Amino acid sequence: MKKVVAAIALSIPLVASAADNSMLILSGDRTLAIPGFRTYIATGYIPSEKNVEFLKTLKEKTTSLKLISFDQTNNNKNMLVCRASYPVYGPNKTPFASLIEAAVNMELVASGLSAPEAPRIQASLDEFDFSSFGTGKWSIDATFATDGKAPLVIKNQYTFPVSAGAVSGCGDVTNAMVAGIESFLLRLYSDPGFIELVR
């Protein structure tokens, strides 16, 4: 288990170094260079103790759970733009569907209900986005499916305080990404359809 966690749970600086520039592709094949100090990168995801403890309570209903594979061709971008100017990335600039897949499977393995080589159900990341105005909000939606069972659709919104200024506000968004993922996964595990789909 330690190897699984170590491979994903990287400690990434919130703001990249000034030398690490990002290139945004604009309409009309135009590009815009963003200085590294205006680029935001979230910290690594480490299995949530709260989520893992909740999963352990499911042992009364099942002794084994499948893992989850996300469709890598759907909504697997690795960057969102904050306040129309500043790129926001996941840890290590990991694509978002891959990030959610790694997070959920780390928690399933950490709970003792899944093995790293367990069979997998399929999932699609339908939305991974945020609002940085007013009340900050991370919106994460996904659909989970396996043969012979009805698909499970999970929609979750995680709210957080956000600063008015663009630089601080985009930092607030980035800092809240991990908590938004944790909240989404707890909503998934708590849904009555989850246990039926993955056991």
Domains detected in the chain: 2-11+43-198 (3.30.160)
Give the gyration radius of the chain's Cα atoms.
17
Please write the tens of the pLDDT for every residue from 70-115. 998 887 899 999 988 899 999 999 999 999 999 999 999 999 999 9
Distance, in Å, from the CA atom of 4 to the CA atom of 13, rounded to the nearest integer, reads: 21
Tell me the whole-structure pTM to 2 decimals: 0.82
* Residue that wins the pLDDT comparison between 7 and 37: 37
* In contact, 115 and 142? CB cutoff 8 Å: no
In sequence order, the β-bridge partners of residue 158 are 138
Q: Which residues does 131 contact at the CB level (< 8 Å), separation at least 6?
A: 137, 139
